[in-house]
Structures are given as structure tokens and as C-alpha cells.
Structure 1
Amino acid sequence: MLTDAKVGLGLRREMLDEFNHFVPDDIHFFEVAPENWMKLGGQFQKPFRALTERYEFYTHGLSLSIGGPEKLDVAFVKEVKQFLDLHQIKIYSEHLSYCSGLGHLYDLMPIPFTQEAVFHVVERVKQVQDIIERPLILENVSFYAAPSAEMTELDFIKAVLAEADCQLLLDINNIYVNSVNHGYDAREFLKAIPHRYIAYLHIAGHYQQEEDLIIDTHGANITDPVWTLLKECYDIHGVFPTLLERDFNIPKTEELLIEIKKIKQYQNAGIDFHHLSRSA
């Protein structure tokens, strides 16, 4: 079991000035979408570079479209590699979904859960990894329909991970959202994920629209069922670096630190749990 107890925060442009003056000790790393930072001018690049030189950074992309029907955008992937190299960032994750067809769709669409789609994704993962010279880490995504599905979401994820031999960004909130929307047991899903593939975790809030319909928003506080699932993840798989996602309705850092510190508490409890289990 891994015991990598680090807590991260998604960095937004409006946070640059604050964090260049002071970063709380409870924040161990930052995560950014490379698309949002690659083209920025000096007004943002200088303070951003000052942070990347002092703190660990992960990247979580938005537009790779790993399952898309069109040819892989090789020029874009090369730009991502240049960004990663410039800032000496080792971690590049993306969504196990697609966002392009006849043009950009500006949303994350579910890949059909089929063996043909597995082959398609695996080929593209290997192509990306050859270009970026790093592992590509794929995130389990929330989805609201499963068109043309021939296998379960879980089987699809496991097949991609095994055949591409890539890593997983395990999003705890997305497991919970999908379990409610599609009627499966979140804990059983979590237990079935091979922990050897897990690289790090995401946790976030959501919007409960109906009793059986949750919208994945990243715009609210984390709910109790998601906290419980995070604890179960640490108990089952060990403790991994965990990032708090907050994409809008972003409160002041003091409020974000409440959830960041809670993640750290759960990590410490997970480490204690595994120490006790080994000594029992």
C-alpha cells in the first residue's frame, strides 16, 4: 500500500498574487490545465514561473480528446510537452473521454464502452506517451448516458489501463456521482479498481438536482457521502496524493483550507489504519 500523503489545490489565475506572497503549509502541490497557461503573456507567465520553480505542479488537461474520432492533434500534444519540459512537470493527466468530433464540442463526452473503443484509446495513449516522454494518466469521468455500451464502465476502465499500461487519476466524486446516476455500489466499484494503476486522486463537490440525478459541478463543498468514499479509498488502496478541485464559486483560501485540512486528516487516519492492519 502507498502512503503518499500530499494534498493539492487547483490553481486559478486570480490566486497567483496571493500564492506568490504566501502558500500555506497545508498545500503541498498545485494542479493546472496546461491549455489555460501555455499561451499566456508575461503578465501571468512571470508569477506562474515563480511558483513552478518553488512548488510541485501537476497538470490536468481539458482538450486532448483521447477517445475522439478524429486524428490525434499531434501539434497540440507537442505544445503540451514543451510546457511540461519548461516547468519540469512530471505529471500529465487527462479525461478518459472525448471532446472533439467535427470540431471542438466544449464538453467531455462519454466514450462508448466497447472493445473497439478500448483498442482506439490504447493506440492513442501510446502515441501520446511517445511524444510527451512521460506516462499519460487517465481520469475516470462522470457521465450521464452510456451510448452503445457493450461492457460496464468499470470493465472499460480496467481494460484501457491494462492494455495501455497507463495510470489512473481516480476521481472519488465521479465514482459517487455515477453510482447515484447509474445505480451501482460506489464502494464495490472502488474495491474493484486495481490499486497498482492509481497515480493520484481528485475530490470535489457536486449539485444534487434530483434524488437520483447528480450534476458534477466542482462548484460546491464536498458532501458527506464523498468524504466517506475518500476514507474507504484510503482504507482499501492506501494513501495517495489528493487534489481538491474547485472550478467556480471559489471561496477564499481560508475556506478552501478547511477541506484541504480535512483531506490531510483522512490521509493520516488511512496511514494509521494500514499500520495497525500490518501489526495486527
Structure 2
Amino acid sequence: MVLSAQAVGLGLRRDFAEQVLQQRPADIDFFEVAPENWLPYGGAYQKKFRALTEQFPMICHGLSLSLGSPDPLDLNFLRQLKQFFTEHQIRLYSEHLSYCSLDGHLYDLLPIPFTEEAATYVAGRIRQVQEVLEQRIAIENVSYYAAPGQQLSELEFTNAVLELADCDLLLDVNNIYVNSVNHGYDALQFLQGLPSQRIRYGHVAGHYQQHEHLLIDTHGAAVADPVWELLAEAYRIHGVFPTLLERDFNIPSLDELQLELQKIRQIAAAQQRLAHAV
């Protein structure tokens, strides 16, 4: 699937899936779902999902592939994903640059050590995933609250994985902002160091400020002003790219979410006007 650079998307939640089917909002260009939330179910759930994929462009953002885990990749799960993607014509799949299993699922996204050895290891697993799925995937820069065994910067590690795996990037703007506050680095310099040609699409989301120097990536609030400002900088540096709004709990009405989607469009349009004026 090729999304237009100006495409604006929304993370689909069951809270408003039926409303989406009934109203068919024309100002939402695509939806994103976690395949784990739909794969186990048949019957009415699968019929509803098929109705959604027949009417809207749909992409998948995984939760449980556990790219950084020492456990073997779950090849049976990958084969299920491949069949699921084929059935629903889903050609864009992303996952987190993290791990969530160690002799069983840990139910959290944990940071991979920022080392050359880990970058090589994770890149090899990403290449294997791409071979099994027979498609490129995008990896997401994640929020993290500790960096055990760190030898590389987050930017160096991310770029090493992208290059070694030859995969794409899901650029999460909120995660960059959260990490820059929590770990004391320059968010703008981080953005400038990323490879524009690998950005497949982006995320924006809300977070919770627990302390002046501690932000928690919750996806449970409206997008904060500094994140909107950083999104504008991301467009300035890399050009406008497809961007999706995440909201995982404290979910407001679909109308309220669409106001934030309009904000994404406004920022993208403003940046394009500036680019054309230069």
C-alpha cells in the first residue's frame, strides 16, 4: 500500500468501529489496527473487520513480534500474519523496536540495549520477518525509561538497525519528545539525524506529565503543543509524510478525535506552503 504524503489516519478502536462503518468519515484517509486484536476471532468480529477493510485503507501495527527478544521468532504467528494480510489486502505492517517476551509474554514493551551487537541481532530478525512476510516492514522508535548496557545513542542504534535490516521507519514524534525530556537530549537534532528516505509514516499521540523531567507515553490524552511543534519540524526536515493519531484509552468522541486529525492536516498544509515559497 502506498499512502499519499498528505494522508491522515486514526488508530481504530472497537469503541467507535461501528460508528465508522455507519458514518464512513471521508476526512480519515486510513486506519491502523493491531492485528493481535483481530486475528484470534472469527464470526461477527471477522465480518466486521472485513467490512472495514473493504471500505477503508487499513494498515497494521503489531504488538507482540518481540523483535529484540532472545526467544526464537514465532514463525507460526508470522504465517498467520501473512495470511491475515493477504485476506484483508494489508500491505503495510509496522512493529516496535523493542521486545515483550522472555520465555513467555511480558505484557510490556521493553528497551533493547543500545549496542552494536544488539543492533546486528535485531536487524537479522527483521530481515527474517521480511523474508517470511515477503514484504518490507517499518520499525517504530519507541519510548523507554531506562537504557541498560548502553554503548550507542538512541539515534545511532536506530540508524544502525535501519541500515543493517534495510527496513523502513515508523517515525513516532511523541516518542521522540518524551524521550528527549526523560533522557535530556535535543529532539530536533534527533529528528535531523534520521534518514528521510526510510520514513514510511508517522505517529502522534498524547502523554502524561508525571514530573517536570518525567513524561509517560500513555496515548491517553490530547496531543500536547510541544509535540505538534515537533511534528511541524519533522515535516520541515523530512517533507510531509502520512501521519496517524493514536489514542488508546480515555477515548473521546470520534468528532473530537477528528479535530486533532484536522490539526495534522493544517500543520502539513502550512509546511507545504512554506516549502513552495522557498
Superposition TM-score, scaled by structure 1 size: 0.97
Q: Aligned to 2:55, what secondary structure does the other structure show? A: coil
Give me the whole-angstrom Cα distance separating, in 1, the residues matched to 2:254 and 2:53: 19
Q: How many residues align?
A: 276
Q: CA deviation at 1:3?
A: 6.9
SS for the counterpart of 1:220 is coil
Q: Alpha-carbon deviation of 1:136?
A: 1.3
Query: Is residue 124 of structure 2 the alignment partner of residue 134 of structure 1?
Result: no
Higher deviation after alignment, 254-263 or 35-44: 35-44
Q: Distance in 2 between matches of 1:155 and 1:276?
A: 33
Summarize deviations over 1:102-152 as a string: whole Å, max 9, x none.
211100000000111011111101110011111111000000000001110
Give 1:43-58 correspondences, 5 Å limit: 43-58=44-59
Give distance in 2, aligned partners of 1:267 and 1:25.
18
Secondary structure in 2 aligned to 1:145?
coil
Q: Which runs of 5+ in 1 are unaligned?
A: none
Measure, in 1, the Cα distance between the counterparts of 2:10 and 2:201. 13
The alignment status of 1:16 with 2:17, answered yes or no, reads yes
CA distance in 2 between partners of 1:60 and 1:17 (Å): 20
The residue that corresponds to 1:106 in the other structure is: 107
Residue 14 of structure 1: how far off its partner (Å): 2.5
For the pair 1:33 / 2:37, whether they are aligned, the reply is: no
Aligned amino acid, residue 151 of structure 2: E
Q: Distance in 1 between matches of 2:4 and 2:196?
A: 12
Q: CA deviation at 1:47?
A: 1.8
Tell me by how many angstroms 1:273 deviates.
1.9
Structure 1 contact 7–260 (Cα < 8 Å) conserved: yes
| 8 Å contact from structure 1 (residues 29, 56) kept in 2 | yes
* Structure 2: gaps (5+ residues): none
- Quick one: distance in 2 between partners of 1:44 and 1:164? 35
Residue identity opposite 2:91 in structure 1: K
Matches within 5 A, 1:142-221: 142-221=143-222
Q: CA deviation at 1:16?
A: 2.1
For 1:240, the equivalent position in structure 2 comes to 241
Look up the match of 2:124.
123
Give, in whole Å, the separation in 2 of the partners of 1:28 and 1:185.
32
Instruction: Give the residue type in structure 2 aligned to 1:77.
Output: L
Runs (4 or more) in structure 1 with deviation over 6 Å come to none
CA distance in 1, matches of 2:134, 2:244: 24
Q: Tell me how far apart the structure 2 counterparts of residues 81 and 271 of structure 1 sit (CA, whole Å).
A: 36
| Identity percentage of aligned residues | 59
Over the aligned positions, Cα root-mean-square deviation in angstroms equals 1.1
TM-score calculated relative to the size of structure 2: 0.97
Contact between 1:242 and 1:263, CA under 8 Å: does it hold in 2? Answer: yes
Q: Distance in 2 between matches of 1:14 and 1:150?
A: 42
- Once residues 6 and 23 of structure 1 are traced to their aligned partners in structure 2, the CA distance between those partners, rounded to angstroms, is 16
Q: Is the 8 A contact 1:3 1:271 kept in 2?
A: no
